[in-house]
Amino acid sequence: MGKIMEKRTLFSLYFSIFAAILGLSIISPLLPTIAEDLRVTGVWMGMIFSGYAISRAIIMPVMGGLSDKYGRKIFIASGLLLLAVISLLYLLAHNVYTLTAVRLLNGLAAGMIIPVAMAYAGEVAQEGKEGRAMGIITMIFYLGIAVGPFIGGIFWHSFGATSVFYVMSGISAFALLLVLHFLPEIKKPKASKTEEHEPFKNLIKRDAVKIVLIIGFISAFRTGVLLSFLPSHALVSISMLLR
């Protein structure tokens, strides 16, 4: 793969991950309004966010294994197509149950994209630069979390709450076009019969792996709590200051 093609491929993968992460973060500024309109309690507010994360966590290892067998591109493209459609389904969610269901579907779509795109990036990156590619993916992940609420807030303030979901759909559709146009399908080379891989159940018994998993869980837990309840807390605090 030439350098220009590699750059286009990696950019398509990075933007796909960015689009998937926006599904988690861009809705944050809307939560106080949603809570007020649907009379959502704190428990259901948590469910709206947890549904996305739970379904994504369940589907990610499944998609990773299937993409090893059937190829990467088809799953990334399918996930982005679903993401574009699901973003518009938010407009039809008029109660807490349908909204939670849409969040579950949103997580499934994101789970089809993120692990497969990460695996693809590791395969197409130049030898010796795989770490750099993974570092950029981590940056994109947190950039999506940081930029999502800002984008959502701007469009909500300027064009109304429904515009946020059209933006989500448009970004996903654009990422899909990039993937279809620039992403070549590559088959994972078959491992040698003499090559041995340590089973995952043995790998997670290592202390270093346990520490990494615990740190990752704490970081994700903190992010989830902040994204779920910080907007509501901020709205209450601002209202008290303006009195």
CATH number at residue 178: 1.20.1250.20
Residue 228 · residue 45 · CB < 8 Å = yes
Say what angle helices 130-159 and 3-25 make with each other, to 10 degrees: 50
The conformational region for residue 84 under phi > 0 = left, psi -120 to 50 = alpha, else beta, is alpha
With bands split at pLDDT 50, 70 and 90, how would you rate the model's confidence at 32? low
How many whole angstroms separate alpha carbon 54 and alpha carbon 142?
19
Question: Tokens 């989500």 belong to which residue?
Answer: 168
Q: Which amino acid is at 144?
A: G
For residue 23, give the nearest of 69, 80, 98 by alpha carbon. Answer: 80
* Averaged pLDDT of the chain: 80
- Asked if residue 139 belongs to a domain, the reply is yes
| Nearest-angstrom CA–CA distance, 193 and 208 | 28
User: What pTM was estimated for this model as a whole?
Assistant: 0.79
The pLDDT confidence band at residue 215, using thresholds 50, 70 and 90, is: confident
Is residue 233 included in any domain, yes or no? no
Domain that holds residue 128: 3-194
Residue 82: its pLDDT value, please? 95
pLDDT score at 85:
95
Tell me whether residue 26 is in a domain. yes
Give a yes or no: residue 235 inside a domain.
no
Look at residue 173 and tell me whether its pLDDT is greater than 90. Answer: yes
In a domain? residue 151 = yes
Inter-CA distances, 219 with 52, 97, 142, 174, 222, Å = 17, 28, 12, 30, 5
Asked if residue 238 is part of any domain, the answer here is no
Q: Is residue 168 part of a domain?
A: yes
Residue type at 3 in one-letter notation: K
* Residue 215 within a domain: no
How many domains does the structure of the chain reveal?
Answer: 1
